[in-house]
Amino acid sequence: MKKAGLVVLISGFGSNLQAILDAVDAGTLNAEVRAVISNRVDAYGLERARLAGIPACVKSRSKGQTRENYDAELAELVQGYKPDLILLAGWMRILTMAFIGRFPDRIVNLHPALPGTFPGVNAIERAYQAYRQGEINHTGVMVHLVPDEGVDLGPVLGQQVVEIRPEDSLEDLEKRIHACEHVLFVKTIQQLIKRMEDKDAKSAAVGVR
Ligand code: GAR
């Protein structure tokens, strides 16, 4: 079965990228990571990609460049790798339709909170504070498609509740959430790839009839 082509967009540490790379290595994901692209030159995830022998590049926004123009250039760069899926693994820039419109149903975002909660940056910290104030009693993680410019919003592909314990420090909660993300992200991508493979097999069967 043909491997799914992935392009992973990152902005930072890249632990979720690493989970994907490890799953590809282990054969858990029938995929190849074709490129890792960061908007930040100091993202450690770039080093992870290089260590794995995967093309890694930085796409920074030039001075005065509009978001749409940056996104159109980013889309060109990504399209060059002909990805089946584009994974936003800690990508901390809001994408405009200049990018999203080029890849319908192919952009997948990971967010460290449950659907509809704590969109944007510092989601774990905000959930932790909300818990301390008695506003929530658990948090979670989600993976969703990116259909438009809504922040951390879109059809949910996978979600997992993460408990918060009274004795938790913020670091404890961060650790638990990241561990959960690494599993859920891989599992959800695996399901998506399986769905794509089933669809291909079906259209091939129709083709031979
Ligand atoms: C992850 O927790 C991811 O869910 C979050 O950034 C972190 C990246 O960690 N993304 C968002 O907050 C998107 N709004 P990593 O660089 O170690 O994978």
What is the spatial distance between Cα 161 and Cα 8, in angstroms, rounded to a whole number? Answer: 25
Q: What residues are labeled active site?
A: 111
52 residue type, one letter: A
The protein residue with its alpha carbon nearest to ligand 1, atom 3, reads: 90
- Using 70 as the pLDDT threshold, list the residues of the chain that sit under it: 208-209
CA 102 to ligand 1 center in whole angstroms: 23
The protein residue with its alpha carbon nearest to ligand 1, atom 9, reads: 90
Ligand 1 site, residue 84, Cβ cutoff 6 A:
no
Ligand 1 site, residue 12, Cβ cutoff 6 A:
yes
Q: 190 near 28, Cβ under 8 Å?
A: yes
The protein residue with its alpha carbon nearest to ligand 1, atom 2, reads: 112
Ligand 1 site, residue 16, Cβ cutoff 6 A:
yes
Residues 6+ apart with CB under 8 A from 71: 95, 96, 98, 99
DSSP assignment, residue 115? T
Helix (DSSP H) and strand (DSSP E) numbers for the chain: 6, 7
Specify the residue for token string 């959800």: 188
DSSP string of 69-86, one letter each residue: HHHHHHHHHHHTT--SEE
Q: Note the pLDDT of residue 113.
A: 98
Q: Note the pLDDT of residue 205.
A: 87
Does the pTM of the predicted model rise above 0.85? yes
Handedness of CA 52, 194, 110, 82 (dihedral sign): positive
Question: From the CA atom positions of the chain, what is the Rg in Å?
Answer: 18
What is the spatial distance between Cα 15 and Cα 10, in angstroms, rounded to a whole number? Answer: 10
The residues that bridge with 35 in the sheet, in sequence order, are: 7
The residues that bridge with 57 in the sheet, in sequence order, are: 37
Ligand 1 site, residue 140, Cβ cutoff 6 A:
no
Ligand 1 site, residue 90, Cβ cutoff 6 A:
yes
Domains belonging to the chain, first-starting first, are: 4-208 (3.40.50.170)
